[in-house]
Amino acid sequence: MSRICVVTGASSGIGRAVSIELAGRGCTLVLGGRNLERLDETAAKCRGLGVVVETAAGDVSTLGHATLLFDKAIRLWESGGEMPGVGASISHVITEIGASTPRARPRLAAVFAAGSAYFGPTLELPDDTWAETVGTNLTGLFYCCREAARSMAGRGGGRIVNVLSIAAVHPFPQSAAYVATKYGGLGLTRSLSSEFRKDHLHFTAFLPGSVDTPLWDRTGTSLDRSKMLAAEDVARAIADIVCSDDLGAFDEVHYMPPEGIL
């Protein structure tokens, strides 16, 4: 069954790799990120793989951004995964002349990979960095999940993958804001999972270990990046969940580098 998938954090790292992987599997995409230029780069790569892609630049911690993303996804869903106004009218004409029955509606899905990280001594953690981390990793994730639930319940349900971190169960030092928001993200995901299971909404808490992405360019690390997971490997694992037609729910997935926690 085809998918229409909303991906946040699509302008970089894991979100970008997931977008490209899903495009390679034929998914229609709605991509979010703050940096429009980098978001457009991802969109161009995905379109190059032959799928329909829409974008919406914005901040997930802003009320309304998640609504914008899912409004676009719903419009695509209503038109069967084609560009609104193009595919919809073609399938209408085909149905009218009786040459074909309307195609089955695609499934809605979402991968929430927008996230920010700060690592350093807690006594030097700036207040605005704490607020930004909570705003993106927790409040933003909540807004996105709520909008996903609103959009998918009554439209056949779907899979939602929340990209958290192994820091959601492993309290690294000098990572207070990051760890707190990832623990919170896990609680949020588990709670939503139990609330919306009856509506055929399957939330996955996806907990990767270290992944070699631009996140580490900004935060700095003494870790050996060659031992980290590749974003493309993580993307394949996430796409396997998103595209699974099985009935089973992937409640919590730990996806680690071969050497485990680095």
Rounded Cα distance, 13 and 9, in Å: 8
Residue 227 CB, shortest distance to ligand NAP, in Å, is 11
Geometric angle at alpha carbon 90, from 86 and 91, rounded to 5°: 120
Of the candidates 142, 81, 115, the one whose C-alpha atom is nearest the C-alpha of residue 12 is 115
By DSSP bridging, strand 201-208 and strand 252-255 are parallel
Instruction: Please compute, for residue 210, the number of CA atoms within 13 A of its CA located in the half-sphere on the CB side.
Output: 18
Q: Which residues bind ligand NAP (CB under 6 A)?
A: 8-9, 11-15, 33-35, 38, 59-61, 113-117, 136, 140, 163, 165, 208, 210-211, 213-215
Encoding tokens for residue 148? 């996903």
Taking the least distance from each CB to ligand NAP, the nearer of 60 and 177 is 60
Rounded Cα distance, 205 and 252, in Å: 5
Taking the least distance from each CB to ligand NAP, the nearer of 106 and 110 is 110
**DSSP 3-state helix, strand, coil percentages of the chain (rounded to 5)?**
45, 15, 35
- Locate all alpha helices (DSSP H) within the chain, ordered by sequence: 13-24, 36-47, 65-78, 87-96, 127-134, 141-152, 176-196, 215-219, 231-242
Residue 114 CB, shortest distance to ligand NAP, in Å, is 4
Residue 85 CB, shortest distance to ligand NAP, in Å, is 28
Taking the least distance from each CB to ligand NAP, the nearer of 159 and 182 is 182
Residue 8 CB, shortest distance to ligand NAP, in Å, is 6
Task: State the residue number with the nearest CB to ligand NAP.
Answer: 115
Rounded Cα distance, 230 and 2, in Å: 26
Which are the contacts of 255, defined by CB distance < 8 A and separation ≥ 6?
206, 207, 208, 209, 229, 234, 237
Residue 129 CB, shortest distance to ligand NAP, in Å, is 12
Rounded Cα distance, 26 and 68, in Å: 23
Taking the least distance from each CB to ligand NAP, the nearer of 81 and 145 is 145
Residue 179 CB, shortest distance to ligand NAP, in Å, is 11
Taking the least distance from each CB to ligand NAP, the nearer of 38 and 197 is 38
Residue 77 CB, shortest distance to ligand NAP, in Å, is 23
Taking the least distance from each CB to ligand NAP, the nearer of 217 and 240 is 217
Taking the least distance from each CB to ligand NAP, the nearer of 31 and 79 is 31
